């Protein structure tokens, strides 16, 4: 898991320009591998070898031109709540505005590290103009130009210094995150799991100030629920902002091994649910899809589940090897099955296939259907192995790794899935030079 950095500020100051610059390099690679369009407001970045997640909060506010001030305040408060550090962006071209002052007021009260970024400082003249932002009372600022990248290095140098380090948690219990859109039934599900208080074994302070894991012993399984504190805290937020749920999902997903993605059966697997799904996939987390409120679906025929399943699979193509469970928290139907499946997915994610066995199975498969010749050259795969990573990654060693195309990698992935059970777990395949 990594620290979370939120970018706040009024519309048009250049938040998304900065954001795109920061995540471009990495996301381009991820997109090429998964073939999936990314959520444009959340991504991974790194600086000086330190990785962090970056959130462009502006992306979650609608009607950015005539935005209500109240809306921005809320966005800033949530960022203060959830992020480890905040980049507050202002615009030297427009100069200091009342809205900037309001945001600064909120930020001054928070204990989180705040980095004031004066953007659009494209030339020396504007560098002088930037001094007016001292008036915000946030101390020194960073002059930068998101468009040409100047000045961003100084900001990032200081930013990564304050980000918390996340070591591996010594606790070996599966860590489950319950995620989904507002009203999918997440709190109800967790309450059903909690049952009576006696099921809670201990409260363990999480790796961050805000996240509290709670250890459960339920249905004969022991596991940690991630970020349940956050979900309980939700009661305080009256309007269920999509932004808030995304932000919390980001945090919970990063902390987890397996994501239990809940959706409301009557609303379906829509774009927002899909975003959360790909978030979990990109983070290499195990995934179980729980279609909740199945009790509300009327006229269930023999094929209803089949059709529903197919619709979801179409949406999550090509990563379709994911368990889908139809449940009802209300009637307690298949709640046990949900947890049992999550435990199985956890097992798949931590599975290590001995190299000898992996070669014995995969090399004959490769021999019977080798990579197609590319530019007249033949690729010979000689050896393969699972890498010693916390989630399944495989390396195939060959003479011309750059000539192995995406379809063949997908073929290898499908064969791995057929031969060894990796249901619910994203797989990465690397071709390496031997
Ligand atoms: P957001 O609403 O805060 O996400 O702002 P955008 O990133 O969409 O940028 C708003 C406008 O400012 C766009 O037209 C950008 O091209 C422009 N912009 C962003 N960064 C800079 C910069 O460093 N210099 C200049 N001159 N323009 C910029
Ligand atoms: P959250 O926002 O995802 O935490 O959702 P909640 O747990 O607050 O649930 C939203 C609403 O859906 C509440 O009124 C719940 O009682 C209701 N709900 C949750 N699970 C079910 C279910 O399986 N069936 C039905 N009919 N209602 C449910």
How far apart (Å, rounded) are the C-alpha atoms in residues 207 and 171? 11
The whole-angstrom distance between residue 293's C-alpha and the CA centroid of its chain comes to 25
User: Quick one: which ligand is closest to 293's CA?
Assistant: 2
pLDDT of residue 384: 95
Which residue, judged by its Cα, is nearest atom 9 of ligand 2?
Answer: 185
Is the CB–ligand 1 distance for residue 75 below 6 Å? Answer: no
Q: Which of 250, 302, 301, 257 is nearest to 5 (CA)?
A: 250
pLDDT of residue 291: 97
pLDDT(131) > 90: yes
pTM for the full model? 0.65
HEC string for 129-179: HHHHHHHHCCCCEEECCCCCCCCHHHHHHHHHHHCCCCCCCCCCCCEEEEE
Strand pairing class (42-47; 221-226): unpaired
Q: Give the lowest-confidence range in 109-123, 220-234, 264-278.
A: 220-234
Tell me the percentage of the chain whose pLDDT exceeds 70.
81
Q: How confident is the model at residue 357 (pLDDT cuts 50, 70, 90)?
A: very high
Enter the DSSP assignment of 330.
T
DSSP bridge partners of 397? 383, 432
pLDDT of residue 167: 53
Mean pLDDT across 52-61? 73
pLDDT(71) > 90: no
Q: How confident is the model at residue 33 (pLDDT cuts 50, 70, 90)?
A: very low
Which residue, judged by its Cα, is nearest atom 26 of ligand 1?
Answer: 120
Residue 407: partners with Cβ closer than 8 Å, 6 or more residues away = none
How far apart (Å, rounded) are the C-alpha atoms in residues 291 and 298? 14
User: Quick one: which ligand is closest to 335's CA?
Assistant: 2
7 is in an annotated binding site: no
CA distance to 5, 171, 250, per residue, from 207 (Å): 16, 11, 15
367 CA distance to ligand 1 middle (Å) = 53
pLDDT digits (tens, 9 = 90+) for 394-433: 999 999 999 999 999 999 999 999 999 999 999 999 999 8
Q: What is the token pair recorded at 10?
A: 């009024």
DSSP bridge partners of 326? 291
pLDDT digits (tens, 9 = 90+) for 235-283: 444 445 556 666 777 878 888 999 999 999 999 999 889 988 998 999 9
pLDDT digits (tens, 9 = 90+) for 304-344: 899 999 999 999 999 999 999 999 999 988 988 999 899 99
202 is in an annotated binding site: no
pLDDT(169) > 70: no
pLDDT digits (tens, 9 = 90+) for 178-211: 988 888 988 888 878 766 443 443 343 333 334 4
pLDDT of residue 209: 33
Q: How confident is the model at residue 172 (pLDDT cuts 50, 70, 90)?
A: confident
């Amino acid at each position: 898991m990594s620290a979370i950095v939120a970018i706040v500020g009024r519309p048009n100051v250049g938040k998304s320009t900065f954001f795109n610059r920061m995540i471009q390099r990495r996301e381009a690679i991820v997109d090429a591998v998964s073939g999936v369009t990314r959520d444009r407001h959340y991504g991974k970045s790194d600086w000086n070898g330190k990785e962090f997640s970056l959130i462009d909060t502006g992306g979650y506010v609608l009607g950015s031109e005539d935005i209500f001030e109240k809306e921005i305040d809320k966005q800033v408060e949530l960022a203060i709540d959830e992020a480890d550090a905040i980049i507050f962006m202002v615009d030297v071209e427009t100069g200091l505005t009342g809205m900037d002052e309001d945001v600064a007021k909120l930020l001054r009260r928070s204990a989180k590290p705040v980095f004031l970024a004066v953007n659009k400082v494209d030339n020396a003249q504007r560098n002088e103009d930037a001094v007016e932002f001292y008036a915000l009372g946030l101390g020194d600022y960073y002059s930068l130009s998101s468009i040409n990248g100047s000045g961003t290095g100084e900001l990032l140098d200081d930013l990564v210094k304050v980000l918390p380090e996340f070591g591996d948690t010594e606790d070996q219990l599966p860590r489950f995150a319950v995620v989904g859109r507002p009203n999918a039934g997440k709190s109800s599900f967790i309450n059903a799991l909690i049952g009576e208080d006696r099921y809670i074994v201990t409260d363990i302070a999480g790796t961050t100030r805000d996240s509290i894991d709670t250890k459960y012993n339920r249905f004969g399984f022991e596991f940690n629920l991630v970020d349940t504190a956050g979900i309980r805290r939700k009661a305080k937020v009256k309007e269920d902002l999509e932004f808030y749920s995304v932000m919390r999902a980001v945090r919970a997903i990063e902390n987890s091994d397996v994501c239990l993605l809940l959706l409301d059966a009557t609303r379906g697997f829509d774009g927002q649910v899909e975003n959360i799904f790909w978030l979990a996939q990109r983070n290499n987390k195990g995934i179980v899809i729980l279609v909740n409120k199945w009790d509300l679906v009327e006229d269930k025929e023999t094929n209803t589940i089949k059709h529903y399943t197919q619709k979801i699979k179409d949406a999550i193509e090509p990563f379709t090897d994911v368990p889908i469970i139809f449940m009802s928290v209300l009637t307690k139907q298949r709640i046990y099955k949900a947890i049992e499946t999550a435990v199985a997915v956890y097992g798949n994610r931590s599975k290590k296939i001995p190299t000898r066995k992996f070669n014995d199975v995969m090399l004959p498969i490769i021999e019977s259907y080798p990579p197609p010749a590319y530019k007249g050259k033949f690729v010979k795969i000689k050896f393969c192995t699972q890498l010693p990573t916390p989630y399944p990654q495989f390396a195939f060693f060959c003479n011309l790794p750059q000539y192995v195309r995406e379809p063949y990698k997908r073929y290898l992935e499908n064969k791995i899935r057929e031969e060894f059970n990796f249901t619910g777990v994203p797989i990465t395949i690397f071709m390496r030079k031997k």
